[in-house]
Chains A and B, each alone.
Chain A
Amino acid sequence: LAKTTQPISMDSYEGQEVNITCSHNNIATNDYITWYQQFPSQGPRFIIQGYKTKVTNEVASLFIPADRKSSTLSLPRVSLSDTAVYYCLVGDVSNDYKLSFGAGTTVTVRA
């Protein structure tokens, strides 16, 4: 599984855009990039997944450059309820896919 590196913590204010960049230099050809969100005492929740270029859903956008060695999760106009730990995970989603979580990025949104 490709190793990922992301900042330990980030602070933001309500209404701002938050961008979390994850490095995954050893990403393999079949690997996808997936981001999860976790609130205290709750299970991780899927946010977004992508392979290359840009993916957008109702919650976030994921930007992946051509070399795929990094990715950026963008959370538009965050609110206090977006305070959580965000995990970047990289792996082959085909056949017996399992996730290996790192420490994640603790995002704190302030009023």
Chain B
Amino acid sequence: EPEVTQTPSHQVTQMGQEVILRCVPISNHLYFYWYRQILGQKVEFLVSFYNNEISEKSEIFDDQFSVERPDGSNFTLKIRSTKLEDSAMYFCASTEGGNTIYFGEGSWLTVV
């Protein structure tokens, strides 16, 4: 079964550093998403991306965050200057549109 893959699985970074989380969505999918889940809390929507542009973003997705699809297969989330409160599991997801959204296994980010 096709799956969304994410790297790294776990990253520890110092506060103020830039972090890039990478995702390879399922190949024929057109819509891409990033979600995050702070430990013990619910899964929160960050951003959706379609046709090479952001289609919707949440209040969490401020100027410190950016997304990019640098080539035909990767979808990245960049946090420019990490804060302690950015520590969370970040999930990439994709869908071909109109039905199931598939999630990756997540990238666990720890900011120290």
Residues of A within 8 A of B (CB): 34, 38, 41-46, 49, 87, 93-104
Interface residues of B, Cβ cutoff 8 Å to A: 4, 31, 33, 35, 42-45, 48, 50, 55-56, 89, 91, 93, 95, 97-106, 108
Q: Kindly state the separation between the CA atoms of A102 and B98 in the bound complex, as whole angstroms.
A: 21
Q: How many A-B residue pairs have CB under 8 A?
A: 55
> Do the beta carbons of A93 and B48 come within 8 Å of each other?
no
Chain B binding surface, main DSSP class = strand
Q: Give the distance to chain A from B54, nearest Cβ to Cβ, in Å.
A: 11
Distance A66 CA – B66 CA, assembled complex (angstroms)? 43
Q: Which residues of B contact A97 (CB under 8 A)?
A: 31, 95, 97-98, 101
What's the nearest-Cβ distance from chain B to residue A22, in Å?
15
Shortest Cβ distance from A101 into B: residue: B43
Inter-chain CA distance A87–B101, complex, in Å, is: 13
Quick check: A96 and B56 within 8 Å, CB to CB?
A: yes
CB contacts (< 8 Å) of A102 on chain B: these are: 42
The 5 tightest CB contacts between A and B, nearest first, are A43-B103, A101-B43, A46-B100, A43-B91, A44-B103
Beta-carbon contact of A99 and B45 below 8 Å = yes
Q: List 21 A-B contacts (CB under 8 A).
A: A34-B100, A38-B43, A41-B89, A43-B91, A43-B93, A43-B103, A43-B105, A49-B99, A49-B100, A87-B43, A94-B98, A95-B98, A96-B31, A96-B55, A97-B97, A97-B101, A98-B33, A101-B35, A101-B44, A102-B42, A103-B42
Which of A34, A42, A49, A96 is B106 in contact with, Cβ under 8 Å? A42
